Chain A
Amino acid sequence: MLGIALLLHCAYSAYEYNKLPISYNRSDLLLELVISLCLIFYSSVTNIQMPSRLNLDNEIVHSPSPYLNFIHINKSLKESNEFGIDDYSKFSNRLDFIDIVKMRREYNVYASSIEKST
């Protein structure tokens, strides 16, 4: 926001410099322009930083490439493989083919074994 405000101020000052009979130091304008652009670029880059993620074992995973994904496919897929969920998981999950009855049965066996042990 500060960067954009400075840039707008800089633009208006440039207009005044050219059109109105006010004397400005031109290097001040250039300095203001450079500072505003630096602020905008810095905030843009920090805002695209990828947040840490929890993997399926509830461990916090920090991306080795925090700003953008790797361009090379082998590094990019390595990262998603280590995270445990990726675009290709659909081929092993196949939600539409879920056997809900079997999963309930397996859960019942697990729940009764937990009950027995407590």
Chain B
Amino acid sequence: MSGFKFDLVKAKLLAIARTGVFVNFSPSKVDDTYNELKQLLINGDSIDIKDVYDLYELHVYLSLITNHDVEAKSYIDRIIDQFGDENSQRITLLKSIYYESQGSKKEGASILGANKNELRLSRRLLTYNRENLKGEEYVSNLVFYLNLQPADLIAWAELADEYAKLGHYDKSIFCLKEVLLEEPVAYPILYKVGLLNYYLFLQNFKEAIVKKDALVELMKYLVDSRNSWLRTIEVCKDHKASWLGVYLICNQSSFNDKLDKLANVKEFEKYKADIKRLSGPSAQKVMELNNITEKELKTLVL
């Protein structure tokens, strides 16, 4: 590995280690990252001491995921040799996850303790025995925890995901809005709020609906969804998925046809005017950002 490439790979792996982005990697990507990191550590005599332990921590996680348990244990021992295994939430968490992966769940949970000031360990304790719990039981554990720690945004995001898995999109949106109160420009959260509102629309939309009140309710979901996606575009220029979402809302023909049948309703007129204004620019942007032709674009909404 040349010096330039070595620095680039090191910077990338450090970014992965510090953000925990590997949690969402596919198994093949985990495998590639594991091999890359192993190679880097073999040639890594020149890595700064402040960086090397972050890379060791990442190596423990990747080794555990790829079933290299002996290697994971040896790197945990190296970290403990340097820092000791008391008074560090990070190390306790690492050890607990190691025990959990080895099937010693009780031991893993017991070392987490019950100190509510240790936020990371409290979060981990919540996940104990997660796979034996029904979805709703895990949700109630999260709700109980959030009553004690209402400012824990990561837990709000976890609860939002769990509600979404159970199909409670409205509750999920509420949780994400709690995150947005603290982080108003968190564009992935803004995008998700838009997406969940769109899911709510799809969940409630039925071909048989013709009454004005029901259509107004459905329209509100689309308006909230559109507004969230437009806000995402406002804070993160050229956000592809949000532009696509706006385009899909503008071309929601089965719903728009129903609105057309009910003439002279004030709310619908405004909604239709807004859609008309956005339709052209959103189509243009989706084509431009995804390098697709008009013909390919039409297939997206079919």
Contacts of A96 in B (CB 8 A): 93, 120, 123-124, 154
On whether the beta carbons of B9 and A54 are closer than 8 Å, the reply is yes
- For chain B, residues 47 to 91, give those with C-beta under 8 angstroms from any C-beta of chain A: 61, 64-67
On whether the beta carbons of A104 and B65 are closer than 8 Å, the reply is yes
Contact partner of A85 (CB less than 8 A), chosen from B19, B66, B154, B236, is B19
Q: Is the interface of A mostly helix, strand, loop or mixed?
A: helix
Contacts of A110 in B (CB 8 A): 26-28, 31
Contact partner of B23 (CB less than 8 A), chosen from A73, A77, A94, is A94
On whether the beta carbons of A94 and B64 are closer than 8 Å, the reply is no
A82–B228 Cα gap in the complex (Å)? 20
B108: min CB distance to chain A, Å: 10
From B184-192, B201-209, B219-227, give the one contacting chain A.
B184-192
Contacts of B93 in A (CB 8 A): 96
Known: A88-B186, A104-B67, A110-B28. Is A93-B131 also a contact (CB below 8 A)? no
- For chain B, residues 7 to 28, give those with C-beta under 8 angstroms from any C-beta of chain A: 7-9, 11-12, 15-16, 19-21, 23-24, 26-28
- A: interface residue count bin: 35 or more
Interface assignment of A19: CB less than 8 Å from any CB of chain B? no
Of all chain A residues, which has the CB nearest B152?
Answer: A96
A-side residues, CB < 8 A to B, are 51-56, 58, 60, 73-75, 77-78, 81, 84-85, 88-104, 106-111
B-side residues, CB < 8 A to A, are 7-9, 11-12, 15-16, 19-21, 23-24, 26-31, 61, 64-67, 93, 97, 100-101, 120, 123-124, 126-127, 130-131, 153-154, 157-158, 179, 183, 185-189, 234-239
